[in-house]
Chain A
Amino acid sequence: MAFVHGKNSRITVNAVDLSSFTDNVQWRGPVDTHDTTVFGDDGHTYLSGLTDGSISMSGNYDDGATNTPARVLAPLRGGAAVTALYHPEGTGTGRAQRSMSVVVSDYQEESVADDKVVWSAELQISGSVTLTDQA
């Protein structure tokens, strides 16, 4: 067992690896909980319900003509769900993979006079997340 550095993490959206344009990925997986507390209980009890989730990602804006966040994510706004793969440990056999269907719910670009142009996006997970190890 070992800790893992984020520099090796990978994120792929709609079959395009956007890792080299990305410096931050947050995968969130909240779950509905339903209170099942009844008389006689000393503490609340809960039942798990539906899962939900989102991915927040951001990085440096790139002016490339293809396969950049601006060319991949921005056009997906308002479109159909696509597949996202998040590899927190990087790619390789046996390493963790989170596979999910997402819709791009937000895409932003920011220019600051004394800094590089950056982008950020929010991906809403649709359905459940598949947690596996890479083949």
Chain B
Amino acid sequence: MNVADVMDELAQAVEAVPSLQGRSFPHPVGDIVPPMAIVPFPLADFDVMMARGSDNLPMTVVVFVRAVHDRATRDQLVAYIDGDGPESVKAAIEDHTYSALHSVRVERGRVQEYTVADAKYMAAVFDLDVIGPGTTS
């Protein structure tokens, strides 16, 4: 798999979420302007199949929102974590058509607090299992 292409396609998939359209980045960013999504750098598990047939990429997608502990923030975060619905990140990622990978499954979503440049944010973090070819061609 071409990892850059995988990161690009995942960011494109997240753009299907209405509140994240135009706010999804295929790489970490320095300035967080919520709501926004990023695709951090993945791990790479090589040689899942013989003869470089397949690799696994355990990856994450992170969706940042304001660090305000109120009902509105709760509603925004859980809408991203919902298994389906217009704001469901799992549905957006798994419904997308990919060319850079064979399959992707959003295994779990969780909420955690992030600090970036001394500013606090709440984030919905999604763990992905990406399976694809072991070669880039």
Query: A: which residues have CB within 8 A of B?
Result: 6-11, 17, 19-23, 25, 59-60, 90, 114, 116
Contacts and interface: CB of A to CB of B under 8 A. Distances in A.
B107 A60 contact: no
A114 B107 contact: yes
B84 interface: no
B interface, size bucket: 10 to 19
Interface string B76-120: 000000000000000000000000000101010000000000000
16 contacts: A6-B50, A7-B46, A7-B51, A10-B50, A10-B51, A19-B50, A19-B51, A19-B53, A20-B49, A20-B52, A20-B53, A22-B49, A59-B49, A59-B50, A60-B131, A116-B103
Nearest to B131: A116
B84 to A, nearest CB: 16
Nearest to A17: B51
Contacts of B134: 20
Interface string B33-49: 00000000000001111
Nearest to A63: B102
B48 A23 contact: yes
Contacts of A11: 50
A6 B49 CA distance: 10
B54 A9 contact: no
Given A23-B48, A23-B50, 10 more contacts: A6-B50, A7-B46, A8-B50, A21-B53, A22-B49, A22-B53, A60-B49, A90-B51, A114-B107, A116-B131
Contacts of B103: 116
B109 to A, nearest CB: 14
Nearest to B50: A19
A59 B48 CA distance: 9
Contact of A9 (B48, B50, B105, B107): B50
A21 B51 CA distance: 9
Contacts of A8: 50-51
B104 to A, nearest CB: 11
A90 B50 CA distance: 10
A22 B50 contact: yes
Contacts of A6: 50
Q: Which 9 A-B pairs rank lowest in CB-CB distance, beginning with the nearest?
A: A20-B53, A19-B51, A7-B47, A19-B50, A20-B51, A22-B50, A9-B50, A23-B49, A20-B49
